[in-house]
Amino acid sequence: MNTVPPRISLITVNYNQAPFIQQTIESVLSQGYPNLEYIVIDGGSTDGSVDIIQKYESQLAYWVSEPDEGQYHAINKGFERASGEVLGWINSDDFLLPGCLGALGSIFQSLPDVQWLTSRMLVICSEYGVLQAHSDAGMSGDAYCENVRRGSNFIQQEQTFWRRSLFDKAVGGQIPTRHSHAADMDLWFHFFQHSDCHVVDIPLACLRQRADQRWRHAAGREQDRVLREEHLCDHGLVTQLRRLVYSAGLQNAPVLRSLLRRTLGYSAQKIVMDADGLLSGDPPSWHVNEYKFL
Protein backbone atom coordinates (compact mmCIF):
# COMPACT_ATOMS: atom_id res chain seq x y z
CA MET A 1 0.00 0.00 0.00
CA ASN A 2 1.14 3.54 -0.71
CA THR A 3 2.80 4.88 2.44
CA VAL A 4 2.33 8.55 1.48
CA PRO A 5 -0.91 9.79 3.06
CA PRO A 6 -3.40 11.37 0.66
CA ARG A 7 -3.26 15.10 0.17
CA ILE A 8 -6.08 16.78 2.08
CA SER A 9 -7.23 20.17 0.83
CA LEU A 10 -9.18 22.25 3.34
CA ILE A 11 -10.84 25.59 2.64
CA THR A 12 -11.64 28.20 5.27
CA VAL A 13 -13.78 31.18 4.27
CA ASN A 14 -13.97 34.23 6.46
CA TYR A 15 -15.60 37.62 6.66
CA ASN A 16 -15.12 39.76 9.78
CA GLN A 17 -14.68 36.85 12.17
CA ALA A 18 -11.53 38.10 13.91
CA PRO A 19 -12.56 36.77 17.35
CA PHE A 20 -12.64 33.20 16.03
CA ILE A 21 -10.49 32.74 12.94
CA GLN A 22 -7.20 32.27 14.77
CA GLN A 23 -8.57 29.28 16.65
CA THR A 24 -9.87 27.84 13.38
CA ILE A 25 -6.52 28.21 11.60
CA GLU A 26 -4.54 26.80 14.51
CA SER A 27 -6.90 23.84 14.84
CA VAL A 28 -5.93 22.88 11.28
CA LEU A 29 -2.21 23.68 11.25
CA SER A 30 -1.44 22.31 14.72
CA GLN A 31 -2.37 18.78 13.63
CA GLY A 32 0.91 18.45 11.76
CA TYR A 33 -0.63 16.48 8.91
CA PRO A 34 2.22 15.88 6.44
CA ASN A 35 0.26 16.33 3.21
CA LEU A 36 -2.04 19.26 3.91
CA GLU A 37 -3.08 21.99 1.50
CA TYR A 38 -4.78 24.74 3.49
CA ILE A 39 -6.46 27.62 1.66
CA VAL A 40 -8.04 30.68 3.29
CA ILE A 41 -10.46 32.89 1.34
CA ASP A 42 -11.33 36.15 3.06
CA GLY A 43 -14.12 38.34 1.73
CA GLY A 44 -12.41 41.67 2.35
CA SER A 45 -12.64 41.81 6.14
CA THR A 46 -12.15 45.12 7.92
CA ASP A 47 -12.02 43.88 11.54
CA GLY A 48 -8.41 42.72 11.80
CA SER A 49 -8.97 39.26 10.31
CA VAL A 50 -6.41 39.92 7.58
CA ASP A 51 -3.69 40.66 10.14
CA ILE A 52 -4.40 37.31 11.78
CA ILE A 53 -4.33 35.43 8.47
CA GLN A 54 -1.02 37.04 7.52
CA LYS A 55 0.59 35.63 10.68
CA TYR A 56 0.17 32.15 9.17
CA GLU A 57 0.97 33.07 5.57
CA SER A 58 4.04 30.80 5.36
CA GLN A 59 1.96 27.76 6.33
CA LEU A 60 -0.89 28.41 3.90
CA ALA A 61 -0.97 27.07 0.37
CA TYR A 62 -2.89 30.16 -0.71
CA TRP A 63 -4.86 33.02 0.78
CA VAL A 64 -6.59 36.10 -0.52
CA SER A 65 -8.68 38.94 0.87
CA GLU A 66 -11.06 40.50 -1.62
CA PRO A 67 -14.82 41.11 -2.01
CA ASP A 68 -16.82 38.11 -3.16
CA GLU A 69 -20.42 37.15 -3.86
CA GLY A 70 -21.07 35.36 -0.59
CA GLN A 71 -19.98 32.32 1.38
CA TYR A 72 -20.46 29.64 -1.24
CA HIS A 73 -18.89 31.70 -3.99
CA ALA A 74 -15.86 32.08 -1.72
CA ILE A 75 -15.76 28.34 -0.99
CA ASN A 76 -15.86 27.54 -4.70
CA LYS A 77 -12.99 29.98 -5.27
CA GLY A 78 -11.00 27.92 -2.79
CA PHE A 79 -11.87 24.60 -4.38
CA GLU A 80 -10.81 25.92 -7.78
CA ARG A 81 -7.28 26.16 -6.37
CA ALA A 82 -7.35 22.91 -4.40
CA SER A 83 -5.34 19.95 -5.65
CA GLY A 84 -5.98 17.39 -2.91
CA GLU A 85 -7.48 13.92 -3.21
CA VAL A 86 -9.60 14.54 -0.10
CA LEU A 87 -11.62 17.75 0.29
CA GLY A 88 -13.59 19.64 2.89
CA TRP A 89 -14.18 23.11 4.31
CA ILE A 90 -14.20 24.52 7.82
CA ASN A 91 -15.87 27.83 8.54
CA SER A 92 -13.91 30.48 10.38
CA ASP A 93 -15.94 30.17 13.57
CA ASP A 94 -15.73 26.36 13.80
CA PHE A 95 -12.64 24.23 14.41
CA LEU A 96 -11.16 20.78 13.87
CA LEU A 97 -10.67 18.49 16.85
CA PRO A 98 -7.26 16.90 17.61
CA GLY A 99 -6.42 13.87 15.49
CA CYS A 100 -9.00 14.68 12.80
CA LEU A 101 -6.66 14.93 9.80
CA GLY A 102 -4.57 11.91 10.77
CA ALA A 103 -7.72 9.79 11.06
CA LEU A 104 -9.04 11.08 7.74
CA GLY A 105 -5.77 10.36 5.96
CA SER A 106 -5.56 6.79 7.21
CA ILE A 107 -9.25 6.07 6.54
CA PHE A 108 -9.22 7.31 2.95
CA GLN A 109 -5.90 5.59 2.35
CA SER A 110 -6.91 2.17 3.68
CA LEU A 111 -10.55 2.15 2.48
CA PRO A 112 -10.59 3.02 -1.24
CA ASP A 113 -14.33 2.31 -1.53
CA VAL A 114 -15.21 5.06 0.97
CA GLN A 115 -16.19 8.08 -1.13
CA TRP A 116 -17.32 10.39 1.66
CA LEU A 117 -17.74 10.28 5.39
CA THR A 118 -19.00 12.17 8.39
CA SER A 119 -18.81 11.77 12.14
CA ARG A 120 -21.77 10.22 13.92
CA MET A 121 -20.90 12.39 16.90
CA LEU A 122 -21.85 16.07 16.80
CA VAL A 123 -19.69 18.28 19.02
CA ILE A 124 -21.01 21.77 19.76
CA CYS A 125 -19.28 24.68 21.44
CA SER A 126 -21.73 27.21 22.86
CA GLU A 127 -21.08 30.92 23.17
CA TYR A 128 -20.27 30.24 26.83
CA GLY A 129 -17.44 27.86 25.91
CA VAL A 130 -19.37 24.74 26.94
CA LEU A 131 -18.76 21.62 24.86
CA GLN A 132 -21.64 19.25 24.18
CA ALA A 133 -21.51 15.94 22.32
CA HIS A 134 -24.51 14.24 20.71
CA SER A 135 -24.36 10.88 18.94
CA ASP A 136 -26.82 10.19 16.13
CA ALA A 137 -28.26 6.72 15.56
CA GLY A 138 -26.75 6.44 12.10
CA MET A 139 -26.63 7.80 8.58
CA SER A 140 -28.02 6.60 5.28
CA GLY A 141 -29.30 8.13 2.07
CA ASP A 142 -32.80 6.77 2.64
CA ALA A 143 -33.00 8.16 6.17
CA TYR A 144 -31.61 11.50 5.06
CA CYS A 145 -34.04 11.97 2.19
CA GLU A 146 -37.12 10.65 3.97
CA ASN A 147 -36.43 12.89 6.99
CA VAL A 148 -38.66 10.66 9.09
CA ARG A 149 -36.58 11.30 12.22
CA ARG A 150 -37.25 15.03 12.40
CA GLY A 151 -34.47 17.03 14.03
CA SER A 152 -31.80 14.39 13.48
CA ASN A 153 -29.96 12.73 10.61
CA PHE A 154 -28.56 16.06 9.43
CA ILE A 155 -25.03 16.04 8.08
CA GLN A 156 -22.84 18.70 9.63
CA GLN A 157 -20.55 20.30 7.04
CA GLU A 158 -17.56 20.96 9.32
CA GLN A 159 -17.12 17.24 10.02
CA THR A 160 -17.80 15.92 6.50
CA PHE A 161 -15.07 15.11 3.95
CA TRP A 162 -15.05 13.54 0.51
CA ARG A 163 -12.92 12.38 -2.40
CA ARG A 164 -12.26 14.75 -5.27
CA SER A 165 -13.44 12.07 -7.70
CA LEU A 166 -16.91 12.11 -6.10
CA PHE A 167 -16.98 15.91 -6.06
CA ASP A 168 -16.14 16.08 -9.75
CA LYS A 169 -18.62 13.37 -10.71
CA ALA A 170 -21.53 14.62 -8.60
CA VAL A 171 -21.33 18.41 -9.07
CA GLY A 172 -18.49 19.10 -11.50
CA GLY A 173 -16.17 20.26 -8.72
CA GLN A 174 -18.38 23.21 -7.71
CA ILE A 175 -20.78 23.46 -4.78
CA PRO A 176 -24.33 24.14 -6.05
CA THR A 177 -25.32 27.70 -5.14
CA ARG A 178 -29.05 27.79 -5.80
CA HIS A 179 -29.64 27.98 -2.02
CA SER A 180 -28.11 30.84 -0.09
CA HIS A 181 -27.91 28.99 3.25
CA ALA A 182 -28.34 25.26 2.56
CA ALA A 183 -25.90 24.64 -0.29
CA ASP A 184 -24.21 21.97 1.80
CA MET A 185 -27.48 20.03 2.06
CA ASP A 186 -27.86 20.35 -1.73
CA LEU A 187 -24.33 18.94 -2.08
CA TRP A 188 -25.18 15.93 0.11
CA PHE A 189 -28.20 15.13 -2.08
CA HIS A 190 -25.95 15.07 -5.13
CA PHE A 191 -23.43 12.87 -3.31
CA PHE A 192 -26.13 10.41 -2.26
CA GLN A 193 -27.03 9.85 -5.92
CA HIS A 194 -23.58 8.30 -6.39
CA SER A 195 -22.53 6.88 -3.02
CA ASP A 196 -23.88 6.32 0.46
CA CYS A 197 -22.26 8.18 3.34
CA HIS A 198 -20.07 6.30 5.81
CA VAL A 199 -19.97 7.33 9.45
CA VAL A 200 -17.11 7.15 11.93
CA ASP A 201 -17.60 7.16 15.68
CA ILE A 202 -14.78 9.56 16.47
CA PRO A 203 -15.44 13.32 16.74
CA LEU A 204 -13.81 15.21 13.88
CA ALA A 205 -14.76 18.87 14.32
CA CYS A 206 -16.67 21.26 16.51
CA LEU A 207 -19.59 23.45 15.51
CA ARG A 208 -19.71 26.80 17.28
CA GLN A 209 -23.18 28.12 18.09
CA ARG A 210 -23.81 31.74 18.97
CA ALA A 211 -26.93 33.76 19.68
CA ASP A 212 -26.19 36.17 16.83
CA GLN A 213 -26.15 33.48 14.12
CA ARG A 214 -29.52 34.38 12.59
CA TRP A 215 -28.58 32.53 9.40
CA ARG A 216 -28.94 29.18 11.20
CA HIS A 217 -32.71 29.71 11.42
CA ALA A 218 -32.84 30.58 7.71
CA ALA A 219 -30.75 27.50 6.94
CA GLY A 220 -33.26 25.29 8.76
CA ARG A 221 -36.10 26.67 6.63
CA GLU A 222 -34.06 26.16 3.46
CA GLN A 223 -33.25 22.60 4.48
CA ASP A 224 -36.95 21.81 4.76
CA ARG A 225 -37.54 23.35 1.33
CA VAL A 226 -34.72 21.32 -0.21
CA LEU A 227 -36.20 18.15 1.26
CA ARG A 228 -39.56 18.98 -0.32
CA GLU A 229 -38.01 19.82 -3.68
CA GLU A 230 -35.92 16.66 -3.97
CA HIS A 231 -37.73 13.40 -4.64
CA LEU A 232 -34.86 10.92 -4.60
CA CYS A 233 -36.32 8.25 -2.31
CA ASP A 234 -39.37 6.04 -2.23
CA HIS A 235 -42.13 7.48 -0.02
CA GLY A 236 -44.26 4.33 -0.06
CA LEU A 237 -45.50 1.92 2.57
CA VAL A 238 -42.17 1.40 4.35
CA THR A 239 -41.69 5.14 4.79
CA GLN A 240 -45.22 5.52 6.16
CA LEU A 241 -44.61 2.68 8.61
CA ARG A 242 -41.43 4.36 9.79
CA ARG A 243 -43.30 7.61 10.34
CA LEU A 244 -45.90 5.74 12.37
CA VAL A 245 -43.20 4.08 14.47
CA TYR A 246 -41.55 7.41 15.27
CA SER A 247 -44.77 9.31 15.92
CA ALA A 248 -45.80 6.65 18.42
CA GLY A 249 -42.32 6.31 19.91
CA LEU A 250 -42.34 2.55 19.29
CA GLN A 251 -38.61 2.52 18.44
CA ASN A 252 -37.92 3.11 22.14
CA ALA A 253 -39.94 0.13 23.38
CA PRO A 254 -37.43 -2.56 24.50
CA VAL A 255 -39.67 -5.44 23.43
CA LEU A 256 -40.06 -4.03 19.90
CA ARG A 257 -36.70 -2.34 19.26
CA SER A 258 -34.86 -5.33 17.82
CA LEU A 259 -37.76 -6.44 15.60
CA LEU A 260 -38.36 -2.93 14.25
CA ARG A 261 -34.67 -2.45 13.51
CA ARG A 262 -34.53 -5.70 11.52
CA THR A 263 -37.72 -5.07 9.55
CA LEU A 264 -37.83 -1.29 9.12
CA GLY A 265 -34.30 -0.20 9.93
CA TYR A 266 -32.11 1.79 7.57
CA SER A 267 -28.98 0.09 6.22
CA ALA A 268 -25.80 1.98 6.99
CA GLN A 269 -22.00 1.65 6.94
CA LYS A 270 -19.82 2.44 9.94
CA ILE A 271 -16.04 2.85 9.80
CA VAL A 272 -14.34 1.05 12.67
CA MET A 273 -10.69 1.04 13.73
CA ASP A 274 -9.04 -2.38 13.73
CA ALA A 275 -8.12 -3.57 17.21
CA ASP A 276 -4.40 -3.73 16.34
CA GLY A 277 -4.44 0.00 15.68
CA LEU A 278 -5.12 0.64 19.35
CA LEU A 279 -2.12 -1.38 20.53
CA SER A 280 0.68 -0.54 18.11
CA GLY A 281 2.49 2.63 17.23
CA ASP A 282 1.72 2.15 13.55
CA PRO A 283 -0.90 4.21 11.75
CA PRO A 284 -4.34 2.75 12.45
CA SER A 285 -6.13 0.58 9.94
CA TRP A 286 -9.87 0.51 9.46
CA HIS A 287 -12.71 -1.66 8.20
CA VAL A 288 -16.39 -1.09 7.40
CA ASN A 289 -19.23 -2.67 9.36
CA GLU A 290 -22.74 -2.78 7.97
CA TYR A 291 -25.59 -2.31 10.42
CA LYS A 292 -29.21 -1.22 10.68
CA PHE A 293 -30.64 1.60 12.76
CA LEU A 294 -33.90 3.37 13.47
**What's at 124, amino acid-wise?**
I
Closest CA to 96 of 153, 55, 41, 157: 157
Burial class (CB in 10 A: 0-12, 13-18, 19+), 103: buried
Check residue 183 and give its pLDDT: 85
What backbone torsions phi and psi does residue 148 show, to the nearest 5 degrees? -65, -40
**Domain boundary assignment for the chain:** 8-234
Check residue 27 and give its pLDDT: 97
- Other Cβ atoms less than 10 A from the Cβ of 37: the count is 19
Check residue 122 and give its pLDDT: 86
Please identify, in words, the CATH class of the domain defined by 8-234: alpha beta
- Please, what are the averages of pLDDT over each run of 10 residues along the chain (294 residues)? 86 95 97 97 96 98 94 95 98 94 96 95 77 83 78 82 98 86 85 94 88 54 62 71 89 90 93 73 83 90
CA distance 140 to 7: 27
Per-residue pLDDT tens for 137-174?
888 888 887 877 765 667 889 999 999 999 999 999 99
**Predicted model pTM:** 0.90
